[in-house]
Structures are given as C-alpha cells and as structure tokens.
Structure 1
Amino acid sequence: MMKILVLANFGMGLYNFRKELLEKLIEQNHEVFISLPNDEEYVPKLERMGCNFINTPISRRGTNPITDFKLLLNYKKVIRSIKPDLVLTYTIKPNIYGGLACRLANVSYLVNITGLGTAVENGGILQKVTLLLYKTALKKAKCVFFQNESNMNFLTKKKVIKGKYKVLPGSGVNLSHYALFDYPSDNTTINFLFISRVMKEKGIDQYLDAAGYIKKRYPNTAFHIIGFCEDVYEEKLFELQEKGIIIYHGKQSDIRTFHKISHCTIHPTYYPEGMSNVLLESAACGRPIITTDRSGCKEIVYDGINGFIIKEKDTQGLIDKIGYFLTLTNEQKVKMGLAGRRKVEKSFDRQIVVDAYIEEINNG
C-alpha cells in the first residue's frame, strides 16, 4: 500500500475527469489524499469515494507572486505532514508549485500537462518566466503526461522536459457514463449546444454572432449555452435570451440531458486546451461537432466525417458550417454522430489513461 497525494486546482475537474483513476487506486488499497480548494458539491463526493481531503486555496488564474509563493509553502507543509510515496499533479499551478515542493522534499511525482495556459500562449516575459518555472519544477518528475502532441512538441523543443514523457488521449472519456444516445428524430427544432465556461477565449463571441445570424434565416434553430458565465457576459446573455436568440441554462451538474436533445455541439474555442472534454463527451454521445483547428480539438474530429473544423475567431466560417449542417439529412447527421462515437471508442477511452497511470505507478 502506498500513500498517494493528488494536487489539483478544483473539485469538479478532479471528480469528473479523474474519478476512475482515484477509484482504481483506492481499490488497490492505496491511501489517497487530495489537496485542492474546498467546495460544497464535489469535495463531499470525493470524500465518499474514500479520498482524504486537505483544503488548499489556489488562485487559479491570478499571477500574484506572493500568493503563488504561499501555495508553494502550503504544498511543502502538506508533503511534510503526509509523507506521500507518490504525488500526482494536474493543471498549471499544482504542476509547477507542486513539482517544486516534491523536488525539495525528494518525493516521486507524476505530472499531467492539461494545457499550457495563456501565459505561455501569449508569449513575452510571462512566457519566459513560466517556462523557467516549468523547467525547474518538472526536472525530477517520474513521468510527464501530455494531453496532445502540440504541447509535447512545444515543451520538448524549448528543452523544458529532461526526463520521461508520453502523450495520453487527454483525460479520456467514460464510455459507459457518456453512452451513445439515439439521435433526435424530431426536427421541429434543431438544437445546438455551447458547453463551456462563458469567456472570450472559448469563442463565445463567435457563437453569439453566429446564433444571431442563423436564427434570422432558420427560425427552427435553438442555440443553447451551458456553463458558468463570467460577469462581463452576463448582461449580454440575458439580453439575447430576451430576444429569443439563445437559451442560457447556467452551470449544470449533468450535461447528458442536453446531449439527448442536441443535434450538434459547437465549440469555437481558441483557449489553450489540453484535450477538450466537451468534445470527447459530445462525440461519445453520438453528436456531430463543429470546432476550431486548435490542438486539443482537431484531434477529435475527422473533418467532414464526424464534424467540421473551422479557423479560430472565424465567425463567417462558423456561420457557413452551421448553414451547411442544416442542409444535411437526418440520416447524414446520424452517420456523423456514429463516426464520432467509434473514434472515441478506439482512441479516447478513459481506461487507456487509467492504465497508463497504473503502469507508471507499478513501475516503482
């Protein structure tokens, strides 16, 4: 039996995308500790699974060096207290400051690069600082897992990674939980889904503009938005909902009810994705996809087979693809959805990710 400490930045991601791995570790009689910020919804679920919770506040998007230094000290304190045999880290700050704490404590650790983040994406001095921190933090990692080849190629080219690394199929998707749903046979209303945090980099502006254009020409369409809304967009969403252009559902705990009525998922992101869980789940449910040519999105789509790929920030391209999608027969749409399901069954089963972790853990 090992003591395994997991460092993450929020409960929802850990529960929704790593639950199967945690269950496997607990099943193998490992003692699992989770260090992340407290929340009322997901931390209790993780505790009921058998995880030992340690409340660790994290400023997920802040760049205050004092706050980040406090996080490093917190991680050092947690590691000193628990004395784990192995640490698993996810997302940027746990990867960097957790990795540094593990190095200082001479503790074995596995890192998962879930995306490089805007600091690296945007270049400049912040990129240089972040890459230096990554290089220092990941130097002694037992293995660095990447979620797409683009991230791997970038960090290896920058000589950030010195040791062992491999690419995983993102976080994978639970094919039982996200089952293949019958495609809607009722075409009275064609339902499109935007599932994401409502923020600029997720392509919400392109989605809203396309919705406004398409609704005028195809009144039998409905453009749904599911996800937490950043304050800057709140007024706009309610205004467009009043006009009947979109339907805003807010944050939802179970997205499958929306996939059941959906005809297509639209994900016009230009955010630095690791691998889009939204697209993996949509494809698993048998829904066609329209997304951008970003790494972490394009890997899930065979253009024209199970969905369509557009350029980033290309509102007209999005409008054109939605318009083309609306000309397809129901049989053609069903065929696209089934092709997506086959693709995730073959290449993105979450069990692939769980097996990769267990292999590394068992390797000592």
Structure 2
Amino acid sequence: MTAQPERLRIALVCNTAWAIYTYRRGVLRMLTERGAEVTIIAPRDRTFEPLIAMGCRCVELPVASKGTDPREDLKTLAALYREYRATRPHVVFHYTIKPNIYGSIAARLARVPSIAVTTGLGYVFIQKSRTAMVAKRLYRFAFRFPREVWFLNRDDRDAFARQDLLAHPDRARLLHGEGVDLDEYAFEPLPERESFVFILIGRLLWDKGVAEFVEAARRVRAIYPNARFQLLGPVGVDNPSAISRTEVDAWERDNVIEYLGEAHDVRPHIANADCVVLPSYREGVPRTLMEASAMGRPIVATDVPGCREVVEDGVTGLLCEAKNADSLAHQLERMLTLDARQRAEMGVQGRAKVAQEFDENAVVERYKGTIRAITGVSL
C-alpha cells in the first residue's frame, strides 16, 4: 500500500479570534476547502463556534493585550511553544503585536516556519512611552526569525526600516491590505432621505479618533440638525486605548451620537449610511474603509498611513488632519453639502478602486504562493 500524503497543517495566531474570523475568512475557506488542517490560536470569544463550523480547530491562547507584565507575556510564549512542539504546523501566520513578537520567538524555538503580518503599528508608533520603546526592542529581536514579514502599507514598512527594526530587510514584503470579498460587499446605491447618516465602524478606541468624531459631531449638528452620527463596534475592549461604556453613554445622553452596539454583519449599517468616517491616528489598511468603498460609500478619513491607501482625496472621499476636530468637522460639512450626484460618483469611484487594488482573491493567491514556497505543496 502507498502511504497517504501528509495533511498540510497551517496555524493562524492573533490576539482576537474575532479578527481572524472577520478579516481572513477568504483565506480560511481556501485552506479548509483544499484539505488543510487549520488551527486558530487566540483568546476564546464568540467566533470560536463559527470558526469550528468552518472546519477549523480552535486553541485558546492567554494574551494580556493591555498588560506589560513580562510574566504574562512569558505565558503566551510558553503556550505557543508547547502548541507548536505538539502539532508541528508546516507554517504559522502571526498577527498583531504580541503574537508577532512572542509567536515568532516560539516558532523559532520549536523549529517551525513562521510569517509575521503587521496589521497596523498601533500604539507602538503613535505613543512615545517606555512601553513603546520596549516593544520596538522586542520587535527588533523577534523579527530576525520569521521567513517573511508582511506589511499592509508602505509607510509601516518604511517606519520599520528607518528605525532599524528589521534584521533581514530583504524578508520584508508588501501585502497592500488584506482584501475584501467583492461579492459579499456588493455595491448599494446611496439612500434617498432628508437625514444624513455618518457612521464610524470599529473597536471604540481613542486611537481611532473617536473623541475627534464626537467633537466634530457636536459642531456639525449645531448647524445641520438633520445630520446623525453613529458608532458601531465593541466598547471596553482589551486595549490600552479602549473607551469605556460610561463615556459612550454620556455622549448618547448629550444626543451627540447613536451607539449601535456590535454587529456580526456590518453590511446593513454601511448600506444605511451616507458616509463612513474613520479619523484614526494610524492604520494598517483599514478593513472598514475597504468594505465601505466596495459598497459605494464615500469616506471621510485622516491623512495617515493606511487610510490614504484606500481613500483618494477628492475622488473616493475626503481626507482631514489627524487629531484635529476642526479639520474633521470641516470635511464632514463639505461631504454633507456636496450634491447627491457628487457623493454618488465618489461611491462609484471607491468601488472601482477597491476592485482594482484590494480584491480578496489576490490576497488569497499570496497566501497560496507563500505556503507553496515554504512547504512545496500547491493548494
């Protein structure tokens, strides 16, 4: 009898299972449909069940996303090392800061190949704190081990190179966003009504520019009472920049914003909006903006790494200064006072840009090519 070929084992590690389920379903579908054994390693959340239903194996991982206690981080490293030694994955993909750092080290110790995907530089490159300095030193050490380091935009790649955080600059690769399913996020005409809805979608973090959004909403609503401002996304998340539910409740009491809670499916909320807003301080390539553009929504976002990859100023949306409520309010008012035809044209152009530059199929092909290069197996 001839021996059956060994089943390909692929692991994806992140600080939230939700992010893997939300942002990488196309990759997961491709892997499971082609017979790979896919393991998701992340803190347990409500997406474990749908991930298991997709055919993935889920392993709970201890990650202290907010904390800086080395003992907690060593628990993360040890848990990953034990998992890699036990299951011997053929390739591991690490996402977000702590899995990138401690996962890359654990993979090296366990002698399994890994890829580090920097999904956005976050507080490490926004703040000038001791914690950020330590994180950069850890990046410099850990990033000597992955086979490749993927960046979602050129600014992030250049920032790592400029600060000498890449021991092997030749291993840096540009992924240019993680893609969007153009069939799932189909084009929708803009609503026709008297009111005008702005929506900010994402984890409610100060670094996402939520404070500037709320302040700009106060100013715009004082002049245009028919303007509505909505927030959609988890509150009080495990992140140093998290916003509390108490703060959101106060904004609601002031009749400034409407908090919509969390949504498993953001498409109805995008379809109901006239404009999607993201005043973030820094991004990888923001998924919500790709999804909004795919559905034909004009955007107001900050002129920062990540956002400017998606938004072409004056063509698919409007860009404003980061950390500047005046600039944001001005661009929101501009968007509101454009005629319907101009906004519709921005939506059409946004859809075309996403189709050309951010089609998820191209991202899935990159994963297939990388796995083939490392394992010799074609998917």
TM-score normalized by structure 1? 0.95
- One-letter amino acid matched to 2:121: L
Alignment partners' CA distance in 1, 2:337 and 2:243: 35
Instruction: Give the residue type in structure 2 aligned to 1:348.
Output: F
Q: Is residue 171 of structure 2 the alignment partner of residue 164 of structure 1?
A: yes
Question: Is 1:287 the counterpart of 2:294 in the alignment?
Answer: no
Q: Distance in 2 between matches of 1:119 and 1:182?
A: 39
Q: Distance between the aligned counterparts of 1:109 and 1:60, measured in 2?
A: 21
Partners of 2:69 and 2:283 in 1: how far apart? 23
2:305 partner letter: S
Shift of 1:183: 1.2
Check the 8 A contact 2:62/2:75 in 1, yes or no: no
> Are the counterparts in 1 of residues 17 and 41 from structure 2 also a CA contact under 8 Å?
no
Per the TM alignment, residue 180 of structure 1 is displaced from its structure 2 partner at its CA by 0.7
How many residues align? The count is: 361
Correspondent of 2:246 among 235, 239, 254: 235
CA displacement 1:135-162 (0-9 Å, x = unmatched): 2222131211101111101112233220
- Report the equivalent of 2:370: 360
Note if 1:300 corresponds to 2:310: yes
Alignment of 1:6-21 (within 5 A): 6-21=12-27
Aligned equivalent of 1:257: 268
Displacement of 1:124: 4.9
Q: Secondary structure at the match of 2:265?
A: coil
| Percent identity of equivalent pairs | 32
Of 26, 45, 50, the residue aligned with 2:55 is 50
1:181 aligns with 2:191: no
* Equivalent runs, 1:208-223 vs 2, <5 Å: 208-223=214-229
The residue number in structure 1 matching 2:3 is none
Change (3 A) 1:232 1:342: closer
Secondary structure (helix, strand or coil) at the match of 1:60 reads coil
Instruction: Determine if contact 1:103/1:137 at 8 Å carries over to the other structure.
Output: no
Distance 2:290 2:97 in 1: 22
Q: Paired residue for 2:356?
A: 346
SS in structure 2 at match of 1:173: coil
Does 1:200 find its partner at 2:200?
Answer: no
Runs of 5+ unmatched residues, structure 1: none
Check conservation: 1:173, 1:280, Cα contact below 8 A: yes
Match of 1:33 in 2: 39
CA distance in 2, matches of 1:222, 1:142: 47
Q: Is the CA contact (8 Å cut-off) linking 2:152 and 2:285 kept in structure 1? A: yes
Residues 3-59 of structure 1 show CA distances to partners (whole Å, capped at 9, x for unaligned) of 1122111111000111111111122221111111112x2111111111111111211
SS in 1 for 2:150: strand
Q: Structure 2-normalised TM-score?
A: 0.91
Give distance in 2, aligned partners of 1:61 and 1:122.
14
Of residues 63, 66, 89, the one that matches 2:94 is 89
The 5-angstrom pairing of residues 318-337 of structure 1 reads: 318-337=328-347
Paired with 2:103 and 2:371, the residues of 1 have a C-alpha distance of: 18
SS state at 1:250 partner: coil
Q: How far apart are the structure 2 equivalents of 1:49 and 1:99? A: 26
With 300-309 and 56-65 compared, the bigger mean Cα shift is at 56-65
Runs of 4+ displaced beyond 4 Å? none
- The one-character-per-residue Cα deviations of 1:105-135 (angstroms, maximum 9, x if unpaired) are 2211111011123134323543442223222
User: Which residue matches 1:274?
Assistant: 284
* Whole-Å separation in 1 of the counterparts to 2:286 and 2:152: 9
Distance 2:68 2:217 in 1: 35
Q: Give the gaps of 5 or more residues in structure 2.
A: 1-6, 237-241, 375-379
Look up the match of 2:4.
none
Q: Post-superposition shift, 1:229?
A: 2.1
Of 126, 134, 137, the residue aligned with 1:129 is 134
- The whole-number CA distance in structure 1 between the counterparts of 2:332 and 2:107 is 48
Query: Separation in 1 of the partners of 2:162 and 2:227?
Result: 45
Matching residue's letter, 1:91: T
Shift of 1:82: 0.6
